[in-house]
A and B are shown apart, each in its own frame.
Chain A
Amino acid sequence: MGSPVSNRAGSRGDFLVNFRAPWNWTGKSRKNNSRQLVMSNFEQSESDFYQSNYATDIQDQGYSDSGAHKNLYGSQKCQGQELPQPDAFVPLEMLSSSQSYIGQILQPTYNPEFLSHSSYADSFDEEPPLLEELGINFDHIWQKTLTVLNPIKPADGSIMNETDLTGPMVFCLALGATLLLAGKVHFGYVYGISAVGCLGIHALLNLMSIAGVSYGCVASVLGYCLLPMVVLSSCAVFFSLQGILGTSLALIIIGWCSLSASKIFISALAMEGQQLLVAYPCALLYGLFALLTVF
């Protein structure tokens, strides 16, 4: 590659980038994938002649604030290395910012002043990490899962402040997948029952509690407490649940799910003396899921 572009204001680490891999590992800038493909092809052919703007301005960028789940390449790769070889592989997401990409693609000239003022990297710097943008916080998801898995431990009322539907979606899909493994294609039933059940429990909780509850919160709690049901349906893959053992296992799992759900609802809505009352409709709902799993 040509000489590295280094004389830019504020450059803390220079990369000479040469895209080889058209795919994007972390999905950080998934939205730019198609553009990157075009750019990578373009760049391949013109690498020596055109020093594209996006070639460099990659400082430590968002990696310093990305957090653990974005560090798939390890931070050492991104910290100001120079890759003089033409076929060095560099993660694509370092280079892109959706904003100014559109313009850059048509400006293949080497322009150091332009490069020094190029703005996409700054906006890329300031762009929050993708998972944070999407509102997916793995730590909270893990915490909530642990709360569900331990129905005896009293729950913290504040964990349901952010309604997060990622975990529930994952669990619903896991339930459908395990049912599929057992030979039953019931995705539609799972979604339908969860939707109607969420509506019913939302109406009931709004009537029973003094403080109202939003639909998202109800959906989130019910989805998280679906996790033991996934355990039940994965058992159903290995042995048939019709029979005394299966029925008792199903009853235990239903009780587990509804106790967890009612425990979280009680702590989040500050309803005293109503745990069993909340647990009963949840048990009816999870009983429907168990029926789906067993029969």
Chain B
Amino acid sequence: MNPDGGAASKRRLPAASMASPHQLFDDTSAGALGRGYAAQQPPAAGSFLAEPVSSFAVAYGTTLASQGKEIVDRNIDRFIPVTKLKYYFAVDTVYVGRKLGLLLFPFMHQDWQVRYQQDTPVAPRFDINAPDLYIPVMAFITYILVAGLALGTQNRFSPDILGLQASSALAWLIVEVLATLLSLYLVTVNTDLTTIDLVAFSGYKYVGMIVGIVSGLLFGKTGYYLLLSWCCLSIFVFMIRTLRLKILSEAAAEGVLVRGAKNQLRMYLTMAIAALQPLFMYWLTFHLVR
């Protein structure tokens, strides 16, 4: 192709000059002028790219696009800490299976402490006690779909109901996380619980809710109440055991009875947070099972 290109450009220049004396008509098309320009450039794919204006436009467009991408990336990084989020999604199938089992049956698990590796907590992949965001996000989306399914079986379904369910569940989640943050602030607890951790812990109850709704669909109201109370109990125990290590002081966390108003207050706070979970679980599911 290239040798032809060279020959073509050589042949083009004489062609442009020879065209004039032999023409019967005036060549008023843009092609003749363009050919003069095009002679200096190799024939690109598509004639319009041979025009210099077009090449400027392409370059400008590319810079615009890359600039736009940079702006989007910067702004997203400002609002959503992407690298921090990546930690919460570093999961694998074994972890998810074990964690789901733990959420539904936390009674036998002994060691609830998150392992650390030089001041940073280990990724969820390597420690079952570390919180993750994969399970809460997937459980939230599955909850919405199962709610739609449940409403559909009762002939109460319409697509906007899905949006209604989704926004109400999201709103309750935000309220709960804000309330927990406020109470943690008021009790002046020195803890390394971040907001994302709280979102993760609050999201774990959706797993129990899904189990409850599915059993309600399959086995009716008795099945719903049975399994929902089991899930409420297990999430209560799970939250208490997890939060105890984070909120209470070291001594109290290990089970040593430490008297003091501060520790008592923290214990009450932990129990209040844990007790919120079954409440929300019932509130968000009872209208779906008839």
Q: A: which residues have CB within 8 A of B?
A: 10, 97-109, 111, 113-114, 117-119, 122-123, 125-128, 133, 204, 206-208, 272-277, 280-281, 284, 287
Contacts and interface: CB of A to CB of B under 8 A. Distances in A.
Interface class of chain B by DSSP: helix
B175 interface: no
A119 B15 contact: yes
Nearest to A278: B93
B31 interface: yes
Contact of B8 (A123, A207, A273): A123
B30 A102 contact: yes
Given A102-B29, A102-B31, A127 B45 contact: yes
Contact of A119 (B8, B28, B86): B8
B144 to A, nearest CB: 10
B190 interface: no
B19 A107 contact: yes
Contact of B85 (A104, A108, A109, A207): A207
Question: What 8 pairs between A and B have smallest CB-CB spacing?
Answer: A102-B31, A103-B31, A122-B8, A99-B47, A273-B92, A117-B15, A102-B29, A123-B43
A230 B205 CA distance: 36
A274 B142 contact: no
B22 interface: yes
Find the residue from A107, A127, A128 having the highest chain B CB count within 10 A: A107
Interface class of chain A by DSSP: helix
The size bracket of the interface on B is: 35 or more
A128 B45 CA distance: 7
B12 interface: yes
Contacts of A97: 47
Contact of B138 (A119, A125, A280): A280
Contacts of A206: 82
Contacts of B42: 126
A126 B18 contact: no
Contacts of A118: 15
Contacts of A106: 25-29
Contacts of A274: 91-93
Interface of B: 1, 4-5, 7-8, 11-12, 14-15, 18-19, 22-32, 34-35, 38, 42-43, 45-47, 50, 82, 85-86, 88-94, 96, 134, 137-138, 141-142, 145
A276 to B, nearest CB: 5
Contact of A103 (B18, B29, B50): B29
Given A126-B5, A274-B92, A275-B93, 8 more contacts: A98-B47, A103-B29, A109-B22, A114-B18, A119-B35, A122-B5, A126-B4, A273-B93
A281 B7 CA distance: 56
Contacts of A119: 8, 11-12, 15, 35
Given A99-B34, A123-B8, A207 B89 contact: yes
A98 B35 CA distance: 12
Contacts of B145: 284, 287
A93 to B, nearest CB: 15
A123 B31 CA distance: 13
16 contacts: A99-B47, A104-B31, A107-B27, A109-B24, A111-B22, A114-B18, A117-B12, A118-B15, A119-B11, A133-B46, A208-B89, A208-B91, A208-B134, A275-B93, A277-B134, A287-B145
Contacts of B134: 208, 277
